[in-house]
Structure 1
Amino acid sequence: MAFRTFLKSLGANAPSVETVIANRAVRPGDRLQTHVTVKGGGADVRIDRLVLELVTRAEDREGDETGWNRPVAFAERHFGPFELRAGETLAHGVDFDVPWETPLTYVLGRPLRGGRVAVRTTLEIDNAVDRGDFDEIAVHALPAQDMFVEAYQRLGFRLDEAEVKMGIAQGGDNQTMPFWQELEFYFPDYYRRPQGDQLETGFYARADSLDVFLGPTGAYPFEYAGLTVEACEKWLDAYCRKHWQM
């Protein structure tokens, strides 16, 4: 039975759930704080599960540019089963540790085209499921990630968009998620451009360091301590000169 039909059978005063996100702007490794309120309707019901998930859009799973048709869940908190009496209100504070490899939606303080992450609330009653609403959040780049993006810009690269792809990326030995995020940069004119004109870049972030992988050449580790934009720019320029001589 469809969930909406099930709720309709309970009458106008059906159960409801609301998720309020306390801090919509986070970075990988932060703590996301939410507050969930479940209100009972006109009859007692048994809630099988209340689930909160962090989800992202993977381009090879979605049929359009904007919808949340088949989102990929990568962190979860769940409650239940429990009884919800008529008119009763139950509230839960639910916190998430934002995984280090969470896709970015902002870099250098600006929205990143193609990057989307949300909190999805799911309510399950009598084997019927309501996927609820998608509350989007802003995932800002770590300082080291912003340094590399700024280094690209200093060298004349232009950021196009980001894509989340399913599977394990080449060189992704430290990858822990079933997907990776790829940032696509257009080459400046003074490099000999490879086929496709874009340098695809990914970050595998950890608490103290990250791996940068560029195109098909594997991953390169960088520790956060002592990292500067100038060091990122110097390394990136040397890398591009080696692979795409000017």
Structure 2
Amino acid sequence: MVFKKMLGAFRVGGPSVDAVLSNPNTRPGLMLAGQVNLTGGSHDVEIDHVTVGLVTRVEMEGAEEEYDAFVEFHRVGVASGLLLREGQHLSLPFQVQMPWETPVTDLHGQHLHGMTMGLRTEVAIRGAVDKGDLDPVHVHPLPVQERILNAFGQLGFQFKGADLERGHISGLHQTLPFYQEIEYYAAPQYAHAANEVELTLVAGEHGVDVVLEFDKRGGLFTGGHDSFGRHHAAHADADRVDWAAQVDTWVRLAIDHHQSPHTGHGYGQPEYGYGRPVDHAPPPGYSGGHHEEHHERRGPGMGAVAAGVAGGAALGFAGGMVADEVFDSFGEDEDEDEG
């Protein structure tokens, strides 16, 4: 990657910056490593600090409408108090610990339509702050998350889209100001009771909390309803459980008991009533970007077509936008924000 951006806030002849990731593919809980390359301009400059931050697109709820905003949800300092001389090259290594709750953006080489994730570099010189480059980051699921996602495809659910919702889910411990919803069209064997399902996988150090929300639209003489279920899957059980059978059990329990609240825990004992965010206030320390018009992603389309086969079963995911296309528009939005 070439040095692609002169830092405009620091006048003509200022330094340029570029972040290079050792490997843009990662998982929640792992390290993302790379280096920030600085090239001095036509004069010496004193750099206050260099930071890198993880940025994603989150669906927000305004007073009158929904819109998307860029949110920086994790930041790491790279260096501070540097003197960058005229024409000098500096390479500053960094490591970013990916939060456990980092949303998934890719599965089996397929980009999840609706997801955007990038690393943004920021340089401050004498109080003036300028963004460097924005590089795509591909977050792959943890093993137990992958097994659960595969199970939905094996059962016949068809991927619809994914997004991030601002807020927290009742009853779950969350550190990030948003949660991911992966949406599916219901498999034929469940279509009598649900039209769509929203899957949320909140990872932690020891396992993953699984939240299911099923939507059944009302008919001419019947009202619609939502069904909820919450479960926990341990990381250690990724290869010990028949996940297709387990997910089928979860789905049928939620559908059969949507009007009968129960509590419990473990794979076969769901907790109901966990599925709706209860806190939409931005948590302290979170940084939101500019607003943009929210485009409705509902309705059938190419996202409803199975994209591949793994272990003999369709995964239920379609290609959607490839990462380069996502970040072409992502970068343009960032530049417009700077303007």
Q: Deviations over 1:47-93 (max 9, x none)?
A: 122111111111228956xxxx6333324224223322222222211
- 1:183 is aligned to 2:182: yes
Q: Deviations over 1:167-186 (max 9, x none)?
A: 11234x22121111111111
- Paired with 1:119 and 1:41, the residues of 2 have a C-alpha distance of 24
Partner of 2:253: 242
Q: Give the number of equivalent residue pairs.
A: 232
The correspondence of residues 93-112 of structure 1 with structure 2, limited to 5 A, is 93-112=93-112
**Of residues 10, 22, 28 in structure 2, which corresponds to 1:7?**
10
8 Å CA contact 1:121–1:131 kept in 2: the answer is yes
- Paired with 1:147 and 1:219, the residues of 2 have a C-alpha distance of 17
- Paired with 1:58 and 1:27, the residues of 2 have a C-alpha distance of 19
Where does the alignment leave 5 or more consecutive residues of structure 1 unmatched? none
Partner of 2:22: 22
Moved more, 182-191 or 227-236: 227-236
TM-score by length of 1: 0.85
- 1:204 alignment partner, SS class: strand
The correspondence of residues 2-151 of structure 1 with structure 2, limited to 5 A, is 4=8, 6-8=9-11, 11=12, 13-60=13-60, 70-151=70-151
Partner of 1:233: 244
Partner of 1:223: 234
Query: Which one-letter code corresponds to 2:138 in the other structure?
Result: A
- 1:81 alignment partner, SS class: strand
Moved more, 121-130 or 21-30: 121-130
- Paired with 1:214 and 1:205, the residues of 2 have a C-alpha distance of 15
- Paired with 1:230 and 1:187, the residues of 2 have a C-alpha distance of 23
TM-score by length of 2: 0.63
- 1:199 is aligned to 2:224: no
- Paired with 1:114 and 1:231, the residues of 2 have a C-alpha distance of 29
- Paired with 2:42 and 2:16, the residues of 1 have a C-alpha distance of 11
Q: Deviations over 1:2-35 (max 9, x none)?
A: x62x433xx3x32111111111111112211111
- In the TM superposition, what is the alpha-carbon distance from 1:203 to its structure 2 partner? 1.0
Query: Which one-letter code corresponds to 1:189 in the other structure?
Result: P
- In the TM superposition, what is the alpha-carbon distance from 1:128 to its structure 2 partner? 2.2
- Paired with 1:75 and 1:126, the residues of 2 have a C-alpha distance of 20
- In the TM superposition, what is the alpha-carbon distance from 1:153 to its structure 2 partner? 1.2
Moved more, 17-26 or 105-114: 105-114
Q: Deviations over 1:110-155 (max 9, x none)?
A: 2111122111001122332212221001111111111111111121
- Paired with 1:148 and 1:228, the residues of 2 have a C-alpha distance of 11
8 Å CA contact 1:151–1:230 kept in 2: the answer is no
- In the TM superposition, what is the alpha-carbon distance from 1:207 to its structure 2 partner? 3.2
- Paired with 2:100 and 2:161, the residues of 1 have a C-alpha distance of 20
- 1:23 alignment partner, SS class: coil
Query: Which one-letter code corresponds to 2:186 in the other structure?
Result: F
8 Å CA contact 1:210–1:221 kept in 2: the answer is yes
- 2:59 alignment partner, SS class: coil
- Paired with 2:38 and 2:135, the residues of 1 have a C-alpha distance of 16
Where does the alignment leave 5 or more consecutive residues of structure 2 unmatched? 1-6, 214-226, 257-339
- 2:153 alignment partner, SS class: helix
- Paired with 1:20 and 1:227, the residues of 2 have a C-alpha distance of 33
- Paired with 2:200 and 2:108, the residues of 1 have a C-alpha distance of 16
8 Å CA contact 2:207–2:233 kept in 1: the answer is yes
8 Å CA contact 1:16–1:40 kept in 2: the answer is yes
8 Å CA contact 1:154–1:233 kept in 2: the answer is yes
Moved more, 105-114 or 79-88: 79-88
Partner of 1:161: 161
Give the percent of matched residue pairs that are identical in Structure 1 and Structure 2: 32
